[in-house]
Amino acid sequence: MPDLNTTRVVLETDEISRALTRIAHEILERNRGSADLVLLGIPRRGVPLAARLAERIARAEGDGERPAVPVGEIDITLYRDDIRRRPTRGLTPTRLPEGGIDEKNVVLVDDVLYSGRSVRAALDALADLGRPRTVQLAALVDRGHRQLPIRADYVGKNLPTATSERVGVQLVEVDGQDAVTISDAVATDSATDARRATR
């Protein structure tokens, strides 16, 4: 019987940490400091990533006592174009920083950039919440295969993949560990079916 365990780790804890530190410095350089910056994480894993970036920006700015950049999260569930085709998702609250987003430089933060449809949904949600001065995008992983003309301004790792592969991001805040993995879709589906059979 062939081995279906084809998951491999492509980023480990230290590599994820270095990628986020680099992105934080790139954000500061592009925006000439942290004034008027707002980081908005796209749930689920974009939210802790945004918080980590804020901490690194605070350290780089010499203010390690508190995040130098306001952090929030933006729920995109009702803005997705596949909402009728996918299982119902639980809504997560949109939380904007106290100062809002009007005339701010907003950085959307997501774990994986793939088709671009989640980012498009986030842009639509953002338009209903205010009018930022600029909107930028940071992604821990860009795996390619875009379906929309969307490009990240900051990327932790460009990861060429086949459409049949799945990229998984694990973060301590959600999963108990940090890792980025690539899995063969057949192996992943088989593992999912096995888990379902035991429920």
pLDDT in tens, 36-74: 999 999 999 999 999 999 999 999 988 555 557 999 999
pLDDT beyond 70 at 186: no
Q: Among 52-61, 83-92, 189-198, which is the least confidently predicted range?
A: 189-198
Residue 10's pLDDT band (boundaries 50, 70, 90)? Answer: very high
Residue 88's pLDDT band (boundaries 50, 70, 90)? Answer: low
Tell me the β-bridge partners of 95. Answer: 73
pLDDT beyond 50 at 2: no
Residue 198's pLDDT band (boundaries 50, 70, 90)? Answer: very low
> Where is 17: in which H helix or E strand?
helix 13-31
148: left (phi over 0), alpha (psi -120 to 50) or beta: beta
Interval 92-141: pLDDT, tens:
889 999 999 999 999 999 999 999 999 999 999 999 999 999 999 999 99
For the structural domain made of 13-162, what CATH number should be given? Answer: 3.40.50.2020
pLDDT beyond 60 at 34: yes
- DSSP annotation of 42 reads P
Q: Could you tell me the pTM of the whole model? A: 0.86
pLDDT for residue 84: 62
Pick from 133, 141, 129: which is nearest to 106 by CA? Answer: 133
pLDDT for residue 32: 95
Pairing of strands 179-184, 8-11: antiparallel
